[in-house]
Amino acid sequence: MHLYIHVPFCARRCSYCDFAIAVRRDLPSQAFVDAVLQEWGGWQEHPIWEGSPEVRTVYFGGGTPSRLDPNGIAELLAGVTRARTVVPGAEVTLEANPDDVTPARAAAWRAAGINRVSLGVQSFNPAVLRWMHRTHTSGQVAPAVEAIRAAGIGDISLDLIFGLPAALGRDWDQDLTQAFALSPDHLSLYGLTVEERTPLSRWAERGEVMPVDEDRYAAEFLAAGRALARHGFEHYEVSNAARPGRRARHNSAYWRRAPFIGLGPSAHSGFGRTRQWNLREWAAYERASAEGRSVVGGSEELSDAAVVLEEVYLGLRTDEGLPIGRLAPAALAAWMEAGWARADTARIRLTAEGWLRMDALVGSAMT
């Protein structure tokens, strides 16, 4: 079993973000903790626990979990462990913004049980950070990494975004160089997408922003792959790379279709064929919790075809790939000839060029 806790609070909305967040100057930390622990209590009699599975990873995502009172994080983790066994050495991750990291807060996170931090850097370019509506400066990144390490949290991941509009003049190679200079254990590299109802989508609709063209997007993705290999990283999933032994265990559970529970507004849960999600907005989630009502927003049962599609899609996005018999020989031969896949006697794996075309390839494989 794997546990995700969605902390929706942010100081402001980033220009590209369509996540379920709540912009708050003052955080209702205790109200959030109380609501999440109430939801967690409601899960304890669920049949999902048959066989008494242990909690293997905990992930605080957002939003901006690092804005939550550190005592709240400690209270949440204590509540989790009171109800269920958390395996020794479990991966416990906190997403953080560089401007939230101080030596005192990092020490409090470590004391609470956090042993991995995913730091939202996105870029080291000051103009790009302002364009993204990020709250941190490039100068706050290195001190944040230093404070996290000094607190005894040795597993650090950095997030970067590529595929930005060319007009910004962002130097992707330079951002990668600065990231590697901080010696992270893990890198998550996400291509910018224009999502509906975001500042970025409104800029694009008004013609104020020209999204990156496909050639530049592909070139930056492939350049990152080459740089990762030079620095000894394993590019183990389309958007993630790690030093040997430092792969993200929580995210890897999703790609293996392991059972997971999501707590908090908009959080999703998945086990077997069942997919379930919570009320999206914090206000609705909090109100339902306070009134003793269910915070579940909806659920579905996957069909046989949907399960197969999920297995194919998730398998192809990792370096584990798929058993070779899962694809038609003609499709496999065409992919290999084009340089989009490689195969041995047991498994097929997409190349970096294949990952760039993954949605189309999966679609063709399922028709």
pLDDT class of 184 with cuts at 50, 70, 90: very high
pLDDT value at position 311?
93
Res. 81: pLDDT tops 90: yes
Residue 287: CB partners within 8 Å, gap ≥ 6? none
pTM over 0.85? The answer is: yes
Whether the CB-CB separation of 230 and 195 falls below 8 Å is answered with no
pLDDT value at position 367?
59
Closest CA to 267 of 293, 298, 290, 239: 298
| Assigned token pair, 301 | 């049962």
Res. 239: pLDDT tops 90: yes
pLDDT value at position 330?
87
Determine phi and psi for 342, rounding to 5 degrees: -135, 155
Distance of CA 186 to the CA centre of its chain: 12
For residues 39 and 84, give the distance between their C-alpha atoms in angstroms, rounded to a whole number. 14
For residues 12 and 252, give the distance between their C-alpha atoms in angstroms, rounded to a whole number. 29
CB atoms within 10 A of CB 103: 13
Lowest mean pLDDT across 21-25, 177-181, 311-315, 363-367: 363-367
To the nearest whole number, what is the mean pLDDT of the chain?
A: 95
pLDDT tens for residues 95-122?
Answer: 999 999 999 999 999 999 999 999 999 9
- At residue 361, the 3 state secondary structure works out as helix
Closest CA to 59 of 262, 286, 207, 306: 262
**What's the average model confidence in pLDDT over 57-64?**
96
The amino acid present at 58, given as its one-letter code, is V
| Assigned token pair, 33 | 């903790």
**In the chain, how long is the greatest CA-to-CA distance?**
60
pLDDT tens for residues 126-158?
Answer: 999 999 999 999 999 999 999 999 999 999 999
- Residues pairing with 157 in the sheet: 118, 186
Res. 46: pLDDT tops 80: yes
Give the count of alpha carbons within 13 A of 259, CB side only.
Answer: 15
Determine phi and psi for 144, rounding to 5 degrees: -65, -45
pLDDT class of 363 with cuts at 50, 70, 90: confident
**What's the average model confidence in pLDDT over 217-246?**
97
Distance of CA 182 to the CA centre of its chain: 20
Phi-psi region of 288 (alpha: psi -120 to 50; beta: other; left: phi over 0): alpha
Res. 292: pLDDT tops 80: yes
**What's the average model confidence in pLDDT over 236-249?**
98
Lowest mean pLDDT across 10-14, 157-161, 297-301: 10-14
pLDDT value at position 51?
81
pLDDT value at position 327?
85
pLDDT value at position 111?
98
The beta-strand segments (E) located in the chain are 2-7, 9-10, 22-23, 55-62, 86-96, 116-122, 155-162, 186-191, 234-237, 240-242, 260-263, 268-271, 274-278, 296-301, 322-323, 341-343, 347-350
Phi-psi region of 156 (alpha: psi -120 to 50; beta: other; left: phi over 0): beta
pLDDT value at position 328?
85
**What's the average model confidence in pLDDT over 292-315?**
95
For residues 331 and 313, give the distance between their C-alpha atoms in angstroms, rounded to a whole number. 15
Domains and CATH numbers, the chain: 2-255 (3.20.20.70), 305-365 (no CATH)
Lowest mean pLDDT across 138-142, 187-191, 308-312: 308-312
| Assigned token pair, 206 | 């008004």
